[in-house]
Amino acid sequence: MKASSWTTTATRYLLQPRTLLRVNRSQVRADLIAGLTVAVILLPQAIAFALIAELPPEMGIYAAVVAAFVGAMWGSSNQVHTGPTNAISLLVLSGLLAVADAGSAEFILAASVMALLAGIIQFLLGMARLGVLVNFVSHSVIVGFASAAGVLIAIKQLKPLFGLEFSSHGLVENVHQVVVNLPELNPATTALGVGTIIFMFVLKRINDRLPAALICMIIASILVAVFGLAEQGVATIGELLRSLPPLTSFESVNLDLFSNVATGALAVAAIALVETTAISRSIATQTGQRLDSNQEFVGQGLANIAVGMFSGYPVAGSFSRSAVNFKSGAQTRLAAVFSGIFVLIALFTLGPLGRYLPTSALAGVLIVTAWGMIDRTEIARITRGARYDAIIMWITFIATLFLHIEFAVLLGILFSFAFYIMNSSVPQVEPVLPDKEFKHFLALGERKGCPQLAIINISGDLYFGAVMHVEEQILAQMDANPDQRYLMLRLHQVNQIDFSGIHMLEMLAAKCAERGGQLYLVRVAQPVMSLIDSTGLSDHLGPGAFLNEDDAISDLFYRELDPAICIYECPVRAFKECQNLPKADFVGELFVEESEVDLSAGSIAPRTLWQQLITDDPPRVIDVREPSEFRRSHVPGSESLPLSSLMTGDLVFDNDKPVVLVCRSGRRSKRAVAMLHEQGCTDVIILDGGMLAWEEAHLLTGVLYEMQATEQRNE
């Protein structure tokens, strides 16, 4: 990208907050209400999601406040809400456990470093205008990862839900430890956690718009305070630090730490971008807003950089909060900014109450949230649907459960790319013929095609990865039909072509030329035609090779194809133009292989025949084409004797007078030679190249020629 282009891009994306200057008063009022509504959900989620990542609760609040502000100011969607999410939190934990022990200073610092690295990756992708890359990550990756993350979160929260004490890693070990240590559960802790789960489901059944998580956490905190449950072994999160998000101290950061969190940061960046893009597009279909994926990449990148700088951990667009933001009437991105401000206010006013908030209640909230992450309907739809999508989803799901999560995510993305490459590298190559009404082209299927012309439809781009497949399919078709001298490719579904595709077309043209035919192209897209022109292929093929599809069949039928083959050799009526041709009852009976025809008598060149015709003793010229062909043009002085008439055997040939057989290209003449030999006429030659060669030699036809020939004889 040129320097001027970079400057333009930077100006456009980095000055995005200017668009909020056009917000009017009514929009601000609606955004205030939506921001307050989202804040009620954001506060408990920020605390709970930080606990998923085994980070201090205030770290989740810092991330929520900073990300809500920065993600909104520099994002693209008016309703997407950026902040901590459950899936990203689980992904962060998996990446951090490979760096340091949970809860240690290095562990906390690594979380901020991971956010910083993920943000840089996202920011650079946006500035490089590579937002389109997110389209190549299958939706099935997100479904598989989110569903498996829901299972892992739910199982991981069983430990604080029952107040158990053990250390374990991995799905199987966690389940085993829960079962083994279940008799040691804390009754008060379990009652608060299980009660929270039940009460949340009840509230959702009563009114889905109620802030069930916040209500349950308040009630659980009141119970702990009133009954002194903390003294009975009920663990609480402790009093929250009341301060503005502090700057992260990077004094102890080294290259080893960066390299250790790099893989996790890459996975976080990818999943966060895919999630956010999916959310923004889903909402945009209802609002009609035009989105800029590159701007969203920049916004998410700056949000993660900011939370990394201000003691937070990686963030992304949230499905649940974005939906609430939209349903609450958010008009602009200010709604997310207001939600962050309200959460910051709540931190200063409600921070001391954290010492009464039981971790089992938060575990209950997270288990309900995790249950919602398992999209059972979508899993069923994908499983019943496309095979590749189902494979990607289940691979990601299983890998997330049993492998390192960041590796599972990258594995799912890798399979998305692999299946995309597989699908794009095997374009559909399909022989087609007109339908019964001769209006549309349909797959050939079990039908027989034209013996002279192959029509093939190519669906997909002709780039280096796909050319080999396309070439093999077309050559196989040509090998199966060796008499088809002409090939017409329909390229309306080919949007791009590279030099490999150009070389393939050159090779096909050469193959057709070897058979005495030609390659024709129809419905060539402009980008494809541009490269064909610039590489000189259009000059090589000639202007007649590019046909208008509406007239292509008719043009080739009357200009190139031999109608006698339709009459005498082909039982198929493939084209509209074939329908009115006479049909011989003896189709195929009089023909023998060309290799079996005795051509020892040889052939005569057009100009040599012309010289003989103007002598006193011209040869007898018999035109074996159909009468309609004869009337259009013929060799002067020739007799019209269709090939079908030769079958009667009633004609008498004088062996003392040489006979020259004429047809369109020489094909029928060769067959007639064999028939005349059987009737005893041996002094037979053919016009080399037929009438096509006669016309190419610029010899006159019809009455004018006969007049000139007569004048020369009189002289």
435-577 and 597-714 share one CATH topology?
Answer: no
Residue 30 has what pLDDT? 92
Mean pLDDT of the chain: 85
Residue 595 has what pLDDT? 44
Name every residue whose Cβ is closer than 8 Å to that of residue 376 and which is 6 or more positions away in sequence: none
Closest CA relative to residue 88, chosen from 115, 70, 116, 121: 115
* CB contact at 8 A, 619 and 659: yes
Q: Round to whole Å and give the CA distance between 189 and 79.
A: 38
* CB contact at 8 A, 327 and 27: no
Q: Enumerate the domain spans of the chain.
A: 37-418, 435-577, 597-714
Angle at the Cα of 516 (from 510 to 521), degrees rounded to 5? Answer: 55
Q: Round to whole Å and give the CA distance between 169 and 206.
A: 38
Helices and strands: H and E segment counts in the chain: 30, 13
How many Å from the N-terminal Cα to the C-terminal Cα in the chain?
A: 79
**The two structure tokens encoding residue 97:** 């456990």
Residue 564 has what pLDDT? 67
- From the options 3.60.150.10, 3.40.390.10, 3.90.550.10, 3.30.750.24, give the CATH code of 435-577: 3.30.750.24
* Residue the block writes with tokens 């085993």: 176
Q: Round to whole Å and give the CA distance between 692 and 629.
A: 12
Q: Round to whole Å and give the CA distance between 48 and 364.
A: 10
Length in residues, the chain:
715
Residue 287 has what pLDDT? 85
Q: What is the largest CA-CA distance in the chain?
A: 135
Return the half-sphere exposure (C-beta side, CA atoms, 13 A cut-off) of residue 165: 5
Q: Specify whether domain 597-714 bears CATH 3.40.250.10.
A: yes
DSSP designation for 682 = -
Could you tell me whether strands 684-687 and 486-493 are parallel, antiparallel, or unpaired per DSSP bridges? Answer: unpaired
Cα dihedral 169→171→174→176 (10° resolution):
-130
pLDDT in tens, 521-551: 999 999 999 999 999 999 999 888 999 888 8
Q: Round to whole Å and give the CA distance between 99 and 444.
A: 60
**The two structure tokens encoding residue 13:** 């994306």
Q: Round to whole Å and give the CA distance between 500 and 466.
A: 9
Q: What three-state secondary structure class fits 83? A: strand
Could you tell me whether strands 639-640 and 620-623 are parallel, antiparallel, or unpaired per DSSP bridges? Answer: parallel
Q: Round to whole Å and give the CA distance between 297 and 196.
A: 37
Count CB-CB contacts under 10 A for residue 536: 11
* CB contact at 8 A, 308 and 245: no
Closest CA relative to residue 268, chosen from 410, 160, 383: 410
Residue 352 has what pLDDT? 86
Low-confidence ranges of the chain (pLDDT < 50): 586-597, 599, 701-704, 707
Cα 670 off chain centre by? 53
Q: What three-state secondary structure class fits 391? A: helix
Q: What three-state secondary structure class fits 524? A: coil
Positive/negative CA dihedral, 661, 664, 669, 672 = negative
pTM surpassing 0.85? no
Q: Round to whole Å and give the CA distance between 517 and 515.
A: 5
DSSP-assigned beta bridge partners for residue 358:
236
Positive/negative CA dihedral, 619, 624, 626, 627 = positive
